[in-house]
Amino acid sequence: MSNYRLPINGYPNRMRSPIVSGLESVQEVYSTDYPSGMALYLDNGSLLDKSGNDRNATPLNTNSPATAIGLDGKQVLRWNGTGTQELQVSPFLQTAIGATLYCVCSLNGDSNYNLARTANLDDYWKFVDGSIGYFGTFKSSRFEGYPSSMPNIGNHLISIHASDTTYEVVVDRISKGVQPSSFLPGDRFRIGVNNRVFSGDIALMLVYSEYIQPGTSKDVAVKNSIKSNYPSLPFS
């Protein structure tokens, strides 16, 4: 019988390697599957929702991001910097009291960008001045100058954790700090918005209609699975 055990439900399991010279080595392995319960699940360069909720993305106008080969040889959605490829998903968080979003993206030096908008706000994930954000995703009004030091180049995992009392942005498993805030489901769900011209890739957009606190078992499971699927992301 094999000494290996497969991971279950995205949570790490101990995987034991064969005994060598009387010693047994142990290493952590992670599932490539995400924990269940997602409200929206887009990946592999497709506009088709894999969550089972039939929340497919469609172009806001006539242009759609291209499907291309991107991070770790996976298919991705690619924006070309023309500001004409915004995607929309019918609003789906109306009954939620919190939400958590995980986005794997590749940035190509954009001075500003917003990869998910949920209300009619003048919000930014990164602003042109000073690399700060003016986040408004899952909010009724944007933050002013939160978070600081948002990336503008490279491959990253950006997650948003919004409850009825707190809001936290995490980049590559590093928290940008917790802010007091109330949750707003919003009246839209837009991806790669046109008025924040984006030239880069989105490999994964994963949304849960619940607040998942950073560092808890479900959050760790999601991020471990993301790292398994995209091993070049800059965190362990």
Mean pLDDT across 228-234: 98
Mean pLDDT across 48-70: 97
Measured CA to CA, the distance from residue 214 to residue 160 in angstroms comes to: 9
pLDDT per residue as tens digits for the range 110-149:
789 999 999 999 999 999 877 899 999 999 999 999 999 9
φ, ψ of residue 226 in degrees (nearest 5) = -60, -45
pLDDT at 16 over 60: no
Mean pLDDT across 63-91: 97
Mean pLDDT across 90-118: 96
List of E strands, 122-163? 153-162
Mean pLDDT, the chain, rounded, equals 89
pLDDT per residue as tens digits for the range 197-223:
899 999 999 999 999 999 999 999 999
Measured CA to CA, the distance from residue 52 to residue 132 in angstroms comes to: 35
pTM of the predicted structure, to 2 decimals: 0.87
User: What is the Cβ-side half-sphere exposure of residue 175, based on CA atoms within 13 angstroms?
Assistant: 10
**What SS3 state is found at 221?**
helix
Banded model confidence at residue 31, pLDDT cuts 50, 70, 90:
low
CB atoms closer than 10 angstroms to residue 13: 15
Q: Which long-range contacts (CB under 8 A, 24 or more apart) does 131-140 make?
A: 133/169, 133/176, 135/160, 135/167, 135/169, 137/101, 137/162, 138/93, 138/99, 138/101, 138/162, 138/167, 138/183, 138/184, 138/185, 138/186, 139/167, 139/181, 139/182, 139/183, 139/184, 140/182, 140/184
List of E strands, 51-187? 58-59, 66-69, 75-78, 87-89, 99-108, 116-117, 153-162, 166-171, 174-180
Mean pLDDT across 161-180: 98
- DSSP category for residue 18: P
